[in-house]
Structures are given as C-alpha cells and as structure tokens.
A = this chain, B = another copy of it.
C-alpha cells in the first residue's frame, strides 16, 4: 500500500464550507501519479504507454474542511490484462488522534499505446510495469 497526504487548499472548498466533492478526483489522480513516480515509472513523456481513464467513482463518508490534512492510502483493487483499478482511502485524524473515514474512491485506467496521429490502442500491461504494480494489489 502506498501512503501520502493532501491538504485541503482554499480553492478546494465551496460555499457549503467543505471540500467540494469533485476535488477528491483530482487528489486521486495526483496520488496515482505520485505512486507511479515512486515506482520509477514515467506518467507521460517518453513512456511507451499511456493510461486513459475509463471509470471513476467516489463514496463520501464525512466532510473535509479547509486546511484539513487528509491521509490517503492507495492500493490496486484489480490488475487486469490491460486495465488497472486503483482504490483510494481518504481519512483524517482529529486532535485526539482519532481517525475518521472521509471518502473511498476508485479510478480505472487502461494501458494504451499511442500511435502517430494520436491514435490510442489498448495493449496488455507490459511485464516490467505489472511486476512493479503487483505489490500494491490487495
């Protein structure tokens, strides 16, 4: 499991005084990218493959507010032939060190090769990448 943190910035909040529900999706993506970088893999750029999203979801258990520091656990729920489904657990810890579940999200990406002219074609996840992802599978 990969662990990181994200602070709720002011622009992440809305007029209800809480982190907007859409913000969790961009936090998931930046945590996914942090995980990929931690494996020594490239997110974009010279990489042979790219990972367009096919699905995203989030269930909200409690609210997060401005300046809350969220603990984020990233794991892999499903590692298919071409697809990977990440699982994200957001929680926060109060002053008494009690953790509260905040949200539980998923992001499903498909391994694609990029051909000239911007054409994307689904390919099996290369073994070198699969091996690095395997330890995060739950």
Q: Which residues of A are at the interface with B, using a C-beta cutoff of 8 A? A: 9-11, 13-18, 20-22, 25-26, 29-30, 33, 37, 43-45, 50, 52-60, 63, 65-67, 118
Copies of this chain held together in the complex: 4
CB pair A53 B44 closer than 8 Å: no
CB pair A16 B50 closer than 8 Å: yes
Which B residues touch A66, using CB under 8 A?
15, 43-44
A10 to B107, CA, bound (A): 15
> Contacts A33-B9, A57-B57 known; A21 to B15 CB distance under 8 Å?
no
Q: Give the residue name and chain of the B residue nearest to A61 (CB).
A: B54
A63 to B110, CA, bound (A): 14
Which B residues touch A59, using CB under 8 A?
54-55
Which B residues touch A56, using CB under 8 A?
21-22, 57-58, 60
**Interface residue from B14, B20, B43, B57 paired with A58 (Cβ < 8 Å):** B57
> Contacts A15-B15, A43-B67 known; A53 to B21 CB distance under 8 Å?
yes
Q: Give the residue name and chain of the B residue nearest to A59 (CB).
A: B55
CB pair B10 A13 closer than 8 Å: no
CB pair A22 B29 closer than 8 Å: yes
